[in-house]
Structure 1
Amino acid sequence: MFEVATILLFVSSAILLALSPGPDNIFVLTISISRGPLAGITTTLGLCSGLVVHTLAVVLGVAVFIQESALAFSLLKLAGALYLAWLAWKIFRAPAEELVSSTSSESYKRLYFRGVLMNIMNPKVSLFFLAFLPQFVNPQLGSVTLQIALLGLMFMGSAFAVFGLISLAAGRIGRFLRKGKGALILNRLSGFVFAGLAVKLLLSER
């Protein structure tokens, strides 16, 4: 359906965007350092799953509604900011040992859904998809809906590759930093990062 040149341009753009500093890769970096590479990859899976929702939002026109409605944008933004603030509060209150050593399947399940929620509660992602994906759509090639869905999948694959590498690299670094009192410091830093992301999202504009 797409020309090779279009695919290469889209994937390279998606990789560069995933590499640029933003809430998602900072979130993955923080989790990977404080919890390890598997925790980072689990969070990445959650974030990428959230992109499915944003892709559907573009297809169904929900993103246009969010863009046009200041109230919808503000409510979704507020929900995301409150969720991040709640995560920061949990980290500040929990002992370091609990956060670092918790490796149960339930814990990874929470990390996955945490990634999903963080992604879908950021309205700027839907607005970004609304502006970015249609640039690579050509109505002459067939179904616009199918093209947007395929572009969304390619973006998810590119983001997963980048965030996965970040998880592995940060996890290795974190292995040394988590020794001794480093665990407590890392967890408190994680709390400040989540609190900062909450403030950043709260202050963001369309």
Structure 2
Amino acid sequence: MELFLNVDWPTFLLAMLLIELTPGPNMGWLTLLSARHGARVGLTAVLGIALGLAVQVLVAATGLSAVMAGYPILYETLRWGGVLFMIWLAWQAFAENGSATPATGLQEKGFRRGFIANLLNPKALVFYAVVIGQFTDPTLGSIWWQILTLGALHIGIATLVHLALVFMGTRIGDGIETWRTSFTARVFFSVSLFAVAIWIAISTS
């Protein structure tokens, strides 16, 4: 309960939402998959993505918990790591032009591709370690429990966004693809993510 009273919820929720709404290859893949193969295949992909992320959360929670127990100064390192990671995501959002969309392999089962892609994605592990991890506080108790809790909240937000993409993809797949690669969308999310990075640096100091 103490964790829920001490987390900077506005910053945390805004960061999670912006990250999930930021145009990227996975957004394009999920949208195109749903547009071409229907909502059923898209929903299985969402389930696979969620399970893959859940494994990453478990790995980050157990590993990071053990390290932070022996090196309290790691919190400060992770704080700045989280800021830099958000800035990198801001650049990625601006650089996204659709060329990296995994158009091949759309015939694969949605669940398998979604699960494996997120299970083997090192960026997801870094995200849970340096972004989610810097919202934790060693004085509030078990780090692993805090990461599991915050990680589960992120997965919940991600799943809601992914579900919306599936249902929109079955109707306006081409429209979403055009929007996510537009200059306006790229600039908006890039600037927003950079602003969140600066806010995280200030609010967690």
Give the TM-score category using the shorter length.
0.5 to 0.7
Residue 5 of structure 1 and its aligned partner are, at CA, apart by 5.9
Aligned to 1:111: 110
Residues 49-70 of structure 1: per-residue CA shift (max 9 Å, x gap): 11111112212328x9xxxxxx
Amino acid at match of 1:21: P
Aligned length: 139
> 1 CA distance for matches of 2:164 and 2:6?
25
Aligned to 1:11: 13
> 2 CA distance for matches of 1:5 and 1:135?
10
Residue 159 of structure 1 and its aligned partner are, at CA, apart by 0.3
- Does the CA contact (< 8 Å) of 1:24 and 1:47 recur in 2? no
Aligned to 2:24: 22
* RMSD of aligned Cα (Å): 3.0
TM-score, normalised via structure 2 length? 0.59
- Does the CA contact (< 8 Å) of 1:31 and 1:40 recur in 2? yes
Bigger shift: 149-158 or 114-123?
A: 114-123
Moved over 6 A (4+): none
Aligned to 1:143: 142
> 2 CA distance for matches of 1:34 and 1:7?
37
Aligned to 1:52: 54
Amino acid at match of 2:158: A
Aligned to 2:83: none
- Does the CA contact (< 8 Å) of 1:41 and 1:164 recur in 2? yes
What is the percent sequence identity of the aligned residues? Answer: 30
**SS class of match (2:8):** helix
Distance 1:4 1:111, change over 3 A: same
Aligned to 1:36: 38
Pairing of 1:1-206 with structure 2 (within 5 A)? 1-3=3-5, 6-61=8-63, 88=104, 110-174=109-173
Amino acid at match of 1:150: T
Residue 4 of structure 1 and its aligned partner are, at CA, apart by 7.2
Amino acid at match of 2:11: L
Unaligned runs of 5+ residues in structure 2 are 67-100, 176-205
Aligned to 1:194: none
Distance 1:122 1:5, change over 3 A: closer
- Does the CA contact (< 8 Å) of 2:39 and 2:170 recur in 1? yes
- Does the CA contact (< 8 Å) of 1:36 and 1:172 recur in 2? no
Amino acid at match of 2:45: T
Residue 38 of structure 1 and its aligned partner are, at CA, apart by 2.8
Residues 143-180 of structure 1: per-residue CA shift (max 9 Å, x gap): 11100000110000000111111111111125x99xxx
Bigger shift: 116-125 or 23-32?
A: 23-32
> 2 CA distance for matches of 1:139 and 1:146?
11
> 1 CA distance for matches of 2:172 and 2:6?
37
